Amino acid sequence: MFLSKLRVIISFVCFYALTKVVRSSEWKYSETQQWYKDAPQCGNSAQSPINIDTMTALPDARLGVLKLMNYSQTLSGGQFINNGHSVQLNFPKDKSFRLAGNEMTDTYTALQLHFHWVGSGSDDVGSEHSVNGHYYDAEMHIVHIKDPYTSVDDVKSMQDGLAVIGVFLKVKPNAADNPHFQMLLDTAKMCSFIGETADLENGPSLISLIPESASYYRYNGSLTTPPCYETVLWTIYQNPVIISKQQLDSFQSLKKTKPEPDENKDPNGYDDHASDVHDKNYELGDNYRPVQPLNGRIVTAFFDIDLSKEVKEPDTWHYEGRNGCVTYIR
């Protein structure tokens, strides 16, 4: 009798744990205020993203140009996946992209990058972080994990277990396509619907995706999606990268899932001419979490020197600029 009851209890616990995992995996951006119910850390006090107030951001002498190791390698060999919340590029396993900094006691290895962007027909909110209340059209996150760990669960209790670089993307009127991001979009747009994957055969270098200016803001925060672990050392580049309107359109063409068949229009297929309201139910865009309160956290800043002025004496570390140029930092 005791063993029978024990099996029932164990079965119930396993079922409860499974349903909790399933529910937490079904979170929606339209329900950000409810995330904490299945992911309690989403209700904690050091959450991301935030609004960066440039008047209160404190210059920090300990900070310096980020040490970007092997960022000149291409991303060829990585794989894009539409995960239903964003389009994500998992980095090739045979390449190592690593990050360090003057004040960092550890190094980090890059795992993936993904994007957040404004949906079609929406307002000007596309980026997750904002600067003085201003949002950009999109935001790219490059996610790194502290060496030698490989799983987010391994570092979920560390304040600096993950290091994420944020890059704002700005649409400039009449701008030409950004060739580096176009190399990504040519493959990403093959992942039109959730679960679809595509191998990146011809990728840009990772260094070509970040701003030429090395200025950035720094703060401690969290993942911006459930489970919202407060384990992220955030680095947000000050200057945006310019993309074209056509490239933003490519992001906005990605979907969460296929629309349901419209029997009144095409009983044998999907309605490619659905109304904007109908389409909004399936778009992948507007995939941003609202900014969270600072709750006493300090935002620090590093302001770039003129990288066009080459220092003659090379140091061990260097910042690799675009077009193969190398500027050494003392």
Let me know: does 60 contact 91? Beta carbons within 8 Å: no
Sign of the four-CA dihedral 79, 232, 291, 219: negative
Nearest to 321 by CA among 71, 17, 36, 64: 71
Q: Do residues 67 and 101 touch, judged by C-beta distance below 8 A?
A: yes
Q: Which domain holds residue 285?
A: 27-258+273-328
Structural domains counted in the chain: 1
* Neighbouring residues of 46: CB distance < 8 A, sequence distance ≥ 6: 220, 221, 222, 230, 295, 297
Specify whether the CB–CB gap between 142 and 110 falls below 8 A. yes
Q: Does residue 79 fall inside a structural domain?
A: yes
Predicted local confidence at residue 179, as pLDDT: 97
Tokens linked to 91: 């980095």
| pLDDT, averaged across the chain | 83
Mean pLDDT of residues grouped by 10 in the chain (330 residues)?
Answer: 40 35 64 95 98 96 94 97 96 96 93 94 86 97 97 94 98 94 96 94 96 96 97 97 96 81 51 44 88 97 64 38 33
| DSSP category for residue 297 | P
Kindly state whether residue 67 falls inside one of the protein's structural domains.
yes
pLDDT of residue 178: 97
Residue 165 in domain: yes
Q: Say if 126 falls within a structural domain.
A: yes
Within a domain: residue 130?
yes
Q: What CATH number is associated with residue 321? A: 3.10.200.10
What is the structure's pLDDT at 266?
A: 52
Residue 267 lies in a domain: no
3-state secondary structure of 207: helix
Q: What is the pLDDT of residue 122?
A: 74
What is 214-246 written as a DSSP string? Answer: --EEEEEE--SSTT--S-EEEEEESSPEEE-HH
Specify whether 85 is catalytic. yes
DSSP designation for 180: H
Cβ-contact 297, 303 below 8 angstroms: no
pLDDT digits 0-9 by tens, 186-227: 999 999 999 999 999 999 999 999 999 999 999 999 999 999
